[in-house]
């Protein structure tokens, strides 16, 4: 956690409100490590909270007015505590308004306004889920301020609902769960049928040093992502319905179908639907195998599953792009890299590279230079480490 960022946030809070905050919380961004598009197929995902995140500071106001300040833009929004309606004029405020609305529905909270300010070091539009970090940090701080007792999963659901109803983004739960359940040096393993969450130690690299992930932002926009996402989801549902009709065991989602069953029955399917199903079924298997490999301390083999995952995204799910493929192929040729794949929805965005902490700077610089030479534009690379999830911090020290 960045103490410099916290001090900056406190300084801005004092400048805006003339006093110190009474509550403070921090929540990190996230990366998806294995399990691509498996969440809405009731499957498995391995993700990680990262060492970049958002501080949310707050104090009670005297009346029903809420004054919310975006610390990076130094823009402010006012609204009534009992009517936090979304507004297109300040879309960044809608995430906090949605969380406040969810808290009010989940519990009887004091109808007293608040002064709030947030500040983040997560790069915008980098595919690291800055929105979930804001939702979870504001949820933790406002829960404390309003004396609301919630489980982490309940708060994650409130964040998801805020995305759906206030930000207009139909996201899954992975971002919020990862932001809250992360642990230092570990991955978050989520079963999206039961919503069971486990902590999986990442372990040490081949040379004994701590591993990290280099996030490479291609800068490619997710063009037509809504229609592409909807097509992929519809194909998965179509495939699940097919397997349900031909298998002699219950099938409610593609997680219930084995790779052997896919091999035997896929020739009877529409070819595109079969490919989409192959990706999901293969991803679920890779997540489970990945957990076994990490438990056994085999990080190198785990990295090979990341390469396999990207290859499946490229061939079966077709949610990669030339820029992502270029980064992953370049990473594959580097001896200090264990694995690489796209992270998140795909169709652009980021690739993540698993490497040693001591090698991360060279890996990022090499890939960035090669990317700029090939595509004529930058590829921003940064190293992130699996880190602790969201939590309340001392409003005076940030600890």
Three-class DSSP category at 95: helix
Burial of 96 (0-12, 13-18, 19+ CB in 10 A): buried
State the Cα–Cα distance between residues 303 and 306, nearest whole angstrom: 5
Residue 386 is given by DSSP the state: B
Token look-up 């519990």 returns 107
279: number of CA atoms within 13 Å, CB side?
28
State the Cα–Cα distance between residues 68 and 20, nearest whole angstrom: 15
Residue 253 is given by DSSP the state: S
- Provide the strand spans (E) within 266-368: 337-343, 350-356
Token pair belonging to 393? 């911090």
State the Cα–Cα distance between residues 206 and 82, nearest whole angstrom: 55
Contacts of 245 (CB under 8 A, 6+ apart): none
> Quick check: is 82 catalytic?
no
Which one is catalytic: 175, 196, 226, 394? 175
Q: Would you tell me the crossing angle of helices 130-146 and 152-162 to the nearest 10 degrees? A: 120
The catalytic residues are 175
């Amino acid at each position: 956690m960045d103490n410099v960022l916290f001090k900056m946030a406190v300084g801005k809070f004092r400048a805006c409100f003339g006093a110190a905050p009474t509550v403070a919380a921090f929540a990190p961004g996230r990366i998806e490590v294995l399990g691509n598009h498996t969440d809405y197929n009731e499957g498995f995902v391995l993700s990680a909270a990262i060492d970049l995140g958002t501080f949310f500071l707050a104090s009670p106001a005297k009346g029903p007015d809420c004054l919310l300040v975006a610390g990076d833009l130094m823009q402010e929004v006012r609204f009534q505590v009992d009517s936090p309606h979304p507004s297109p004029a300040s879309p960044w405020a809608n995430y906090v308004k949605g969380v406040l609305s969810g808290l009010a529905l989940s519990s009887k909270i004091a109808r007293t306004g608040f002064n709030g300010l947030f500040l983040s070091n997560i790069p915008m539009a980098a595919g690291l889920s800055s929105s979930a970090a804001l939702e979870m940090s504001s949820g933790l701080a406002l829960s404390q301020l309003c004396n609301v007792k919630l489980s982490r999963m309940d708060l994650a659901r409130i964040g998801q609902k805020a995305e759906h109803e206030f930000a207009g983004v139909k996201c899954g739960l992975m971002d919020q769960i990862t932001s809250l359940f992360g642990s230092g040096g570990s991955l978050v393993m989520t079963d999206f049928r039961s919503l069971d969450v486990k902590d999986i130690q990442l372990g040490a690299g081949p040379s004994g040093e701590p591993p990290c992930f280099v996030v490479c932002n291609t800068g490619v926009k997710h063009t037509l992502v809504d229609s592409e996402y909807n097509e992929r989801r519809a194909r998965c549902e179509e495939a699940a319905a097919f397997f349900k009709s031909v298998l002699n065991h219950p099938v409610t989602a593609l997680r219930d179908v084995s790779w052997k069953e896919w091999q035997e029955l896929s020739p009877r399917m529409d070819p595109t639907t079969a490919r989409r199903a192959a990706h999901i079924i293969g991803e679920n298997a890779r997540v489970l195998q990945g957990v076994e490999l990490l438990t056994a301390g085999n990080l190198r083999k785990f990295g090979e599953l990341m390469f396999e995952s990207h290859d499946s995204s490229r061939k079966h799910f077709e949610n990669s792009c030339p820029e992502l493929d270029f980064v992953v192929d370049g990473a594959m040729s580097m001896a200090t890299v264990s694995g690489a794949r796209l992270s998140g929805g795909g169709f652009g965005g980021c690739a993540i590279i698993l490497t040693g902490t001591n090698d991360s700077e060279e890996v990022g610089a090499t890939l960035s230079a090669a990317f700029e030479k090939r595509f004529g534009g930058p590829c921003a690379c940064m190293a992130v480490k699996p880190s602790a999830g969201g939590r309340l911090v001392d409003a005076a020290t940030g600890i």
